[in-house]
Amino acid sequence: MFEGFDAIFLARLQFAFTVSFHIIFPAFSIGLASYLTVLNGLHLWTGKPVYLSLFDYWKKIFAVAFGMGVVSGITMSYQFGTNWSVFSDKTGPVLGPLMGYEVLTAFFLEAGFLGVMLFGRERVGEKLHFFATAMVGVGTLISATWILAVNSWMHTPAGYSINEVGQFVPEDWWAIVFNPSFPYRLVHMVLAAYLTTAFVVGGVGALHLLRRDIDTPGARTMFSMAMWMATLVAPIQIFAGDLHGLNTLEHQPAKIAAMEGHYDDHPDGAPLILFGLPDDDAETVRYSVEIPKLSSLILTHELDGPLRGLKSWAKDERPPAELIFWTFRVMVAIGFAMLGFGIWSLWARWRGRLYRAPWLHRAAVIMSPMGFVAVLCGWITTEVGRQPYVVYGMLKTAEAASPLAAPAVGTSLMAFIVIYTAVFGAGTYYILRLMNRPAIAIDEPVDSEGPVRAGGIMPGPSHGKDAADHA
Amino acid sequence: MPEFDLAFIWAGLIAFAVLAYVILDGFDLGVGILFPLFDKGVQRDQAMNSVAPVWDGNETWLVLGGGGLMAVFPLAYATVLPALYAPIIAMLLGLVFRGVAFEYRWRTHRARWIWDWAFFSGSLVAALAQGIALGALVQGIAIENREYVGGWWDWLTPFSMLTGAALAVGYALLGATWLNMKTTDAVRERARSFVWWAMLATLALIGIVSLWTPFIDPLYYERWFTFPTEIFSFLVPAAIVGCVWIMWQGMVRNRDAWPFLSALGIFILCYIGIGISFYPYIVPAALTIEEAAAPEASLEFLLVGAIVLVPMILGYTIYAYWVFRGKVDPESGYH
């Protein structure tokens, strides 16, 4: 049934599908692991039970998300070999050790201490338990560091030479790891993970604040912490994103041209196209709404700064503008919405109405999944913007694939789609159900066996294993 | 004897990572394979809780094996994986299924049977796929010009089916001896009954595979039936018999750790046997360790880290196992 398809197209589709699923979970678990570390630390420091009950609340959600991240990540690591064997052979000497370091420094750390963090609180005591949580959190950050070094090198390769069999051979590891786009990507991604998680946590807090009957200290703490994160980090993220854009202009100008929708060269100042429909065949943007000179001002910090258009590259050297023009705009719009949210919450906080602002809370619930949308859109923008290359300027995607027949790739793609949809659909459902449960209000540490008081009014369902079924 | 350079050190490290994976994930996959044979409810909860805190760390060795292979033997990685395409995809999907079951199972009452089933079938598929992949590798892989040139059904042979079954049964033995060691009461009793069956079946399958292997390739025949390596033809089976004796003693004398440790011993001995057959090839009869190795600079860079980090990893892995030492408390778990 896949005879009519191109094996490379199917392999790309498979990679895009599996990585899109995968990127969601690390984005969430990076942020959540840090949040759990903070909660655990605050509990250790202040002794306030609210932090411990929040820790227990988010720990279960983390465990489900982390499990999905692990299993989808193992799939990713083997896909390089199964579907992209030429890529593996050629870039293995450079990228393999970086991924090896990711496993050695991050995966084992996370996996080793995850068990202690989830199950071992009674066995190891509070301080070691905090240490275990912190190790899981540090592990997620180290993991992000290595994987973004790998990804950035594919965008801005440096520090290598090419040997007689066509492999990339390392010359300078410092230059490979700290390649020109690495710092920008790393900061942008980690901040994105923090913001994404903050809006999820804030959305859950807001949901429970909206249900006045369970207006609990836990919900307030969640919402307040999340809104501080939005207030402080959203502006930093926009600034970091701008710097990343400048870096991309320097190293991947074709990607910027596609993101901005510039087909023609603008030697004396390019307009900012707010909206429009790019058409790669006709090489024009239809129905465009433009602000003169603004694109140049943003990207070159000069009104008359010159910008190259896509037409200055051969057709088979251009990334597809139709897609990334839009994904880029969606990402930016969500970023500014987050900034606006931070300001709104700051104003509500200043007025003393942070916990009694139903419209803010409703908006926060709607906003809660937007971080994931932004992460996915940002990822599409940068990865599709690298096309037609897999290693920018050096190795084309089409030349990197395994010598596989289309039916093989097609069949495995179908299997991935069916199984991922079922497995991760169920996981998402369980996470949402966990989030739907109240953030328990307690005055003393949670007794995992007995009933807990909800809002000091009545005994609620037990915190134990059957609670999810009652919720 | 070729000079003892970085490529050989790395071959040893990768072999260690794969062995660590096989014995560690082996017992938790084995618990999954035996899962439906335990009663619903408390028995299954106890079986799963015996591996829940450690399975994730166990599976990480698989990522190190794969990721390490790409780093230090990229050519082997790039030729073996396409050759074993179907079993590897099946293994990954099996691992997806069983991996999520650890959390999902506790999040639902009505649909628990689905995740019990996912835990079992995912574990079984992953075990079979790994065994089949091993068998296909032993049979050899067609490589020309740095590319896999065989068909995508080449891995499917009677021999690879046999190795698939052998590994799945061997994992069941590891799982049964693990549960014998880690659990109490009804779960332990049932696990003990599985130990006997799994031991007999494992020995039978190891025997058939061992007798078949030397006739697959002249290289293997030479290894096992010419001096000096034929010494191992007596030593390895003798040591396996020793392990079986320890396992039997452990069972009848209620020393619950002995059967598990001797099952590990059997796995390690079989693994050494495979190593004797393969050396100095990494893909038998196609790629030697030297030919597949990455440039010196790559081997060196990662080795510096591995020397420091692998002992640390072993340290905190042992710590994590130590935290959860002893029999599983039937009431424990955070769920």
A448 in contact with B, Cβ within 8 Å: yes
A459 strand-pairing partners: A453
User: Are the C-beta atoms of A320 and A384 separated by less than 8 Å?
Assistant: yes
User: Are the C-beta atoms of A51 and A129 separated by less than 8 Å?
Assistant: no
Report how far residue A246's alpha carbon sits from residue A248's, in angstroms, rounded to the nearest whole number. Answer: 5
Shortest distance between the Cα of A130 and any Cα of chain B, in A, equals 15
Reading the block at residue A432, the tokens are 């949402």
pLDDT (0 to 100) of residue A77: 80
pLDDT (0 to 100) of residue A423: 87
- In order along its 335 residues, chain B shows pLDDT tens digits of 344 588 899 999 999 999 999 999 999 999 999 999 999 888 999 999 899 888 888 988 998 888 888 889 989 988 898 889 899 999 999 998 898 898 888 888 888 899 999 999 999 999 999 999 999 998 888 888 888 888 878 889 999 999 999 999 999 999 999 999 999 888 999 999 999 999 999 999 999 998 898 888 888 888 888 878 788 888 888 999 999 999 999 999 999 999 999 999 999 999 998 888 888 888 888 888 888 888 888 999 999 999 999 999 999 999 888 888 888 877 666 65
Beta-carbon separation of A88 and B333 below 8 A: no
Of B103, B147, B313, the CB nearest to A104: B313
Is the entire prediction scored with pTM above 0.90?
no
Which residues from A are below 8 Å from B57, CB to CB?
108, 111-112, 114-115
Beta-carbon separation of A169 and B295 below 8 A: yes
Beta-carbon separation of A120 and B63 below 8 A: no
Cα dihedral A403/A406/A409/A411 (nearest 10): -150
pLDDT exceeds 50 at position A320: yes
Instruction: Give φ, ψ of B294 to 5 degrees.
Output: -70, 165
pLDDT (0 to 100) of residue A438: 78
pLDDT exceeds 90 at position A192: yes
| Pairwise pLDDT comparison (A292 vs A225), residue with the higher score | A225
Mean pLDDT of the A434-450 span: 57
* Number of Cα atoms under 13 Å in the Cβ half of residue A121: 17
pLDDT exceeds 70 at position A1: no
Helix axes A370-384, A182-210, angle to 10 degrees: 160
pLDDT (0 to 100) of residue A454: 34
DSSP character for A312?
Answer: G
Of A86, A105, A408, the CB nearest to B85: A408
DSSP character for A266?
Answer: B
pLDDT (0 to 100) of residue A411: 86
pLDDT exceeds 90 at position A356: no
| In chain A, residues 136-195 whose CB comes closer than 8 Å to chain B | 163, 165, 167, 169-171, 173
Reading the block at residue B286, the tokens are 């196609």
Taking the domains of chain A in order of start, what are their residue ranges? 180-404
Of B66, B294, B316, the CB nearest to A77: B66
pLDDT exceeds 70 at position A2: no
pLDDT (0 to 100) of residue A458: 32
pLDDT exceeds 50 at position A449: no
pLDDT (0 to 100) of residue A98: 93
Of A167, A415, A423, the CB nearest to B89: A415
pLDDT (0 to 100) of residue B216: 85
């994986």: which residue's tokens?
B81
Which residues from A are below 8 Å from B298, CB to CB?
92-94, 96-97, 169-170
Beta-carbon separation of B71 and A100 below 8 A: yes
Shortest distance between the Cα of B227 and any Cα of chain A, in A, equals 37
pLDDT (0 to 100) of residue A4: 60
Mutate to test the interface with A, among B29, B56, B110, B313 (most CBs of A within 10 A): B56
Reading the block at residue A433, the tokens are 């159900």
Beta-carbon separation of A167 and B102 below 8 A: no
A78 in contact with B, Cβ within 8 Å: yes
Report how far residue A301's alpha carbon sits from residue A249's, in angstroms, rounded to the nearest whole number. Answer: 12
| Pairwise pLDDT comparison (A203 vs A461), residue with the higher score | A203
3-state secondary structure chain B: CCCCCHHHHHHHHHHHHHHHHHHHHHHHHHHHHHHHHCCCCHHHHHHHHCCCCCHHHHHHHHHHHHHHHHHHCHHHHHHHHHHCHHHHHHHHHHHHHHHHHHHHHHHCCCCHHHHHHHHHHHHHHHHHHHHHHHHHHHHCCCEECCEECCCCCCCCCHHHHHHHHHHHHHHHHHHHHHHHHHCCHHHHHHHHHHHHHHHHHHHHHHHHHHHHHHHCCHHHHHHHHCCCCCHHHHHHHHHHHHHHHHHHHHHHCCCCHHHHHHHHHHHHHHHHHHHHHHCCEEECCCEEHHHHCCCHHHHHHHHHHHHHHHHHHHHHHHHHHHHCCCCCCCCCCCC
A464 in contact with B, Cβ within 8 Å: yes
B150 in contact with A, Cβ within 8 Å: no
Cα dihedral B128/B131/B132/B138 (nearest 10): 180
pLDDT (0 to 100) of residue A288: 80
Instruction: Give φ, ψ of B147 to 5 degrees.
Output: -140, 150
Of B71, B85, B309, the CB nearest to A97: B71
* Number of Cα atoms under 13 Å in the Cβ half of residue B229: 17
Which residues from B are below 8 Å from A7, CB to CB?
none
User: Are the C-beta atoms of A232 and A342 separated by less than 8 Å?
Assistant: yes
Query: A463 Cβ partners below 8 Å, 6+ apart?
Result: A56, A440, A446, A447, A448, A452
pLDDT (0 to 100) of residue A364: 92
B328 in contact with A, Cβ within 8 Å: no
Amino acid sitting at position B220: Y
Q: Is A5 left (phi over 0), alpha (psi -120 to 50) or beta?
A: beta
pLDDT exceeds 90 at position A461: no
Nearest residue to B314 (alpha-carbon basis) of B129, B60, B116, B92: B60
Report how far residue A201's alpha carbon sits from residue A207's, in angstroms, rounded to the nearest whole number. Answer: 10
Shortest distance between the Cα of B287 and any Cα of chain A, in A, equals 14
Beta-carbon separation of A80 and B335 below 8 A: no
pLDDT (0 to 100) of residue A447: 40
B305 in contact with A, Cβ within 8 Å: yes
pLDDT (0 to 100) of residue B285: 81
CA A158 to chain CA centroid, nearest Å: 25
Q: Of the ranges A105-109, A155-159, B147-151, B244-248, which one carries the lowest mean pLDDT score? A: B147-151
pLDDT exceeds 60 at position A116: yes
Q: Is B41 left (phi over 0), alpha (psi -120 to 50) or beta?
A: left
Architecture of domain B6-324: Up-down Bundle (1.20)
Shortest distance between the Cα of B13 and any Cα of chain A, in A, equals 12
pLDDT (0 to 100) of residue A440: 63
pLDDT (0 to 100) of residue A450: 36
Shortest distance between the Cα of A126 and any Cα of chain B, in A, equals 14
User: Are the C-beta atoms of A132 and A168 separated by less than 8 Å?
Assistant: no
Taking the domains of chain B in order of start, what are their residue ranges? 6-324
Reading the block at residue B97, the tokens are 């299924």
Element (H, E) at A353: none
pLDDT exceeds 60 at position A459: no
User: Are the C-beta atoms of A157 and A391 separated by less than 8 Å?
Assistant: yes
B48 in contact with A, Cβ within 8 Å: no
Which residues from B are below 8 Å from A466, CB to CB?
109
Which residues from B are below 8 Å from A446, CB to CB?
none
DSSP character for A307?
Answer: B
A396 strand-pairing partners: A389
Mutate to test the interface with A, among B89, B296, B310 (most CBs of A within 10 A): B89
Element (H, E) at A338: helix A321-350
Distances (CA, A) of A238 to A152, A184, A229, A245, A345: 20, 12, 14, 10, 18
pLDDT (0 to 100) of residue A457: 33
| In chain B, residues 200-229 whose CB comes closer than 8 Å to chain A | none
Work out the number of other CB atoms within 10 angstroms of the CB of residue A341: 24
pLDDT (0 to 100) of residue A445: 42
